[in-house]
Chains A and B, each alone.
Chain A
Amino acid sequence: MYTEKVMDHFQNPRNVGEIEDADGVGEVGNVKCGDIMRIYLKVEDNVIKDIKFRTFGCGAAIATSSVITEMAVDKTIDEALELTNKQVAEELGGLPPVKMHCSNLAADALKTAIEDYKKNNK
């Protein structure tokens, strides 16, 4: 059902936690399946220097949250905004079709966190 990389990220999720003085926080949820992702950002010179997540959800939700933290770190805000859920799934070697719209909210959560950062830094 899941690729080895999904299982690796599920079993050993990277960057779990919270950033106390985060520059941006984004939370998204899937109304149908109930998954929730919250992403915390620390931004310096327009570059994401630290990123952490907390997720309520299935294996795919945890794995996509984890992998996007690896994909986004050290990227500029504009580069990070270009990341898509499809790219997240590809990075993990694919996800079951039902998980694409059910549990792969990672890029949406990142975007929401970046929007929060932008709002805080107008």
Chain B
Amino acid sequence: MKRVYLDHAATTPLHPSILDVMLPFYKELFGNPSSVHSFGREVKKHVDKARKQVAESINADLDEEIIFTSGGTEADNLAILGVAAALKEKGNHIITSSVEHHASLDTCDALAKEGYRVTRLSVDEHGVIDLEELKSAISKDTILITLMHANNEVGTVQPIEKVSKIAKEHDIYLHTDAVQSFGQIPVDVNQLGVDLLTISGHKIYGPKGIGALYVRKGTKLKNLAHGGGQENKIRPGTENVAGIVGLGKAAEMASNSVDEMQEVEKKRDRLIEGLLKMDDVKLNGHPEKRLPTNVNVSIEYIEGEALILSLDMEGIAASSGSACTSGSLDPSHVLMHMGLSHQTAHGSLRLTLGKGTTDEDIDYVLDRVPKIVERLRNMSPLYGKQIKKGSGCPCTQKK
């Protein structure tokens, strides 16, 4: 059976050349980079090189502005909790959006329970924040704005550069989670004007369990963990050397290959066009300001998990914002905040392309999806000539 992987927003495959640079650190190069002897010094050189590679890939001014973490979630936590702790005498107000990844949303919620005030900005039907709402939310006790660069579910790119200008006018730190955007669109910390920025290894064909937080020089940030002096005393613990080396290489490759994304974007557009040929299918996310790899559609009258399982049986890996996929009882908070009804959000399908996605893959998906949709719709009590559109159990209607 043909296998098509279209879930690159969840994770990307490890690139062979990245694995190659990592392997020596699981074999002969085992020294602790904090050790002063030759075994340690030899490894330290590679950690330093990786830090430089990451710094250059996002146009950071200094290598030491890069803090390696265990991944995007830890980097987001460190940025938000670290700034909150460092600036608690200055203020206790944090601004975020309602469509952030849970790594940021839940962290802000945790701070709210400790007495911090958190404002969650709303988004429009395309998932974009309102800059006027942001300006109105700012007060003298605002210490941090944390907004994702691009959304992981619908691919919408936020106007971070414009947010940065507003943040600077009010002397407020700006953090952006660039986990999804890095490697797909230009990510330049100076052009974006951010103080803190998160990236993750496994979204850019690198290893899992490694990420980095960019912290602009002079930004006040308190460490969350205590121990050794690693990572500028901000993130102690013996380094995940193989992961760091892999991230360095992955970051270098990601920043050098953003141009390749134009080809991926053509395939994305063909996939979107093909899916929209089906009846009662709607594109979620921004029609233009979206990641070149992201396709997210709502398919009425069917439920997302049933679609994902059916696609899996055809060898196609995809994801959905359906509650039944997430294990919770509520569908995607992103889709709901964009104004979708409960029922429509349930029927979402996210297909995220990668550099290895071929035209044949797109053809295969466009051949299989309509057949599966027809099968599931024929099973659905919400679909059929006997049933009027929008009828069905009142529990599924938009409140």
Contact = CB atoms under 8 A, between A and B. Distances in A.
Most B Cβ at <10 Å: residue of A57, A62, A98: A57
Given A29-B395, A57-B324, A58-B324, A11 B303 contact: no
A16 B303 contact: no
A103 B395 contact: no
Given A62-B306, A102-B324, A56 B395 contact: no
Interface string B281-307: 000000000000000000001111110
Interface stretch (B99-107, B258-266, B267-275, B373-381): B373-381
Contacts, number: 91
A29 B322 contact: no
A13 B379 contact: yes
B392 A56 contact: yes
Contacts of A91: none
A34 B379 contact: no
B1 interface: no
A64 B333 CA distance: 27
B327 interface: yes
B302 A33 contact: no
By size class, the interface of chain A is 20 to 34
Contacts of B330: 32-33
B340 to A, nearest CB: 12
Most A Cβ at <10 Å: residue of B302, B303, B342, B382: B303
Contacts of B392: 29, 36, 56
B231 to A, nearest CB: 37
B379 A55 contact: yes
Given A34-B346, A36-B396, A102-B324, A59 B381 contact: no
B393 A36 contact: yes
A35 interface: yes
Contact of B381 (A10, A38, A58, A60): A38
Given A29-B396, A36-B396, A59-B305, A11 B313 contact: yes
B343 A16 contact: no
Nearest to A36: B393
Contact of B309 (A30, A32, A59, A99): A59
Interface of A: 7, 10-11, 13, 16, 18, 27-38, 54-62, 96, 98-99, 102-103
13 contacts: A27-B393, A29-B392, A31-B395, A33-B323, A34-B303, A34-B323, A34-B331, A36-B381, A36-B395, A59-B305, A59-B306, A59-B309, A62-B379
